[in-house]
Structure 1
């Protein structure tokens, strides 16, 4: 039976190659892919990610080949991304502690959450969180997505996160302990050297944030703690880390290898790579 992959995309823009790379690896093996977004709105690629003439400021060069730009435009215009699952509809919202009937509402929340997350985890073999600047807005601190991540991790099913999508892993945590899932783990992600000084943008929002609102590297260093580690691999062309159940990818050129490594995790039981 072919593997089933749940791919989560931001509604504020994903980086094209960070979707295309893993999808090509999954398509080559006949995996079935289901897409999801926070509210069920169709995801769109960030325009610079399909512009081969766009120069990435920190790297001082284009990071998108003309062939990749074509592939991004094709998948972005296709029907594949139409009608994604809605995390908002699938996963209940945790009640405020100030709600009038908090105890009963919290009990109901846990009942509904456990059933919903259980169904998702049972239906898929792996979870993928695609990167780009969009995840900063609607994925990093998305409690519904955190619950999905916690469910996949508890089931020992692999989770691939790319670029700023890795922030989701740092913030997904059991509220009883408040400890990050990444504590003691080794990961990569967007290093400080790769952050924009200006021009962080989003789909559907006429707003230049300037630099990213948080330095992901610092968050990951703190989340992994003294027994884990962040690996920026600055100066190396690629950076992908496997520390089961997590596969983390630094940025655009790591998209294809991260997809291939997730396949190796699923097919060959790979549990460690890159550190």
Structure 2
């Protein structure tokens, strides 16, 4: 938090549920992987009425859906995932993935392998693009140096009251500061 206090977080419920439903509806096999294979935690704030248009049914539906996804209880170890086995990688949003994946070399290795094949897709939603901070080329250069990217803006983060006090600026390697 801005004040330096810790805030419990995790992945954003709807940003997991809706894409997961859509991928399955299209017939895709969906695996879930996390750093060290840790069980991901849903951000309870994402299940609050205030973030769900005061719709208790929506909250209940999200909780029920998440509880029914067995792969969330035993995810794959991200560092052991073989990019050759996948056509696409999707990074869910939330402050949890933003904190974990922005500094995780395994997501960087996986993304780099996926992105090296023009027929494969690497995508992320909301705070998920923070994982891009971990993607370097074989020479150790940030893969996106000099490119324009989109993601959750500082203005949006400020509206959600979680913004830092500084604006992210690239360091000497071209990687934006991890704020």
Q: TM-score range by the shorter chain?
A: 0.7 to 0.9
Distance 1:197-1:23 versus aligned 2 partners, 3 A rule: closer
Matches within 5 A, 1:1-275: 13-54=10-51, 65-78=55-68, 79-88=70-79, 90=80, 120-156=82-118, 157-174=120-137, 176=139, 178-181=141-144, 183-184=146-147, 186-196=148-158, 200=162, 211-212=163-164, 215=167
Deviations 1:151-188 (A, max 9, x none): 0000221011112210211441125151333643x532
Once the two structures are TM-superposed, the CA of residue 47 in structure 1 deviates from its matched residue by 0.4
Structure 1: tracts of 5 or more residues without a match: 1-11, 55-61, 91-116, 201-210, 225-275
The answer to which structure has the higher strand fraction is 1
Distance 1:72 1:170, change over 3 A: same
Deviation readout 1:185-241 (Å, 9 max, x if unpaired): x532111111147864xxxxxxxxxx348756x66xx769xxxxxxxxxxxxxxxxx
Superposed CA RMSD in Å reads 2.9
Shift of 1:40: 1.0
The residue matched to 2:31 in structure 1 has which SS?
strand
1:44 alignment partner, SS class: coil
CA–CA separation in structure 2 for the residues paired with 1:164 and 1:21: 16
The number of equivalent residue pairs is: 163
Distance 1:142 1:44 in 2: 17
Distance 2:136 2:127 in 1: 17
Larger radius of gyration: 1
Provide TM-score, normalisation by structure 2: 0.76
Structure 1 residue 29: Cα displacement:
1.1
* SS at structure 2 position matched to 1:128: strand
- Distance (Å, rounded) in 1 between the aligned partners of 2:94 and 2:48: 15
Q: Normalising by structure 1, what TM-score?
A: 0.52
Change in CA separation of 1:23 and 1:182 when aligned onto 2, cut-off 3 Å = farther
Provide closer, same or farther for how the CA distance between residues 142 and 74 of structure 1 changes in structure 2, counting only shifts above 3 A: same
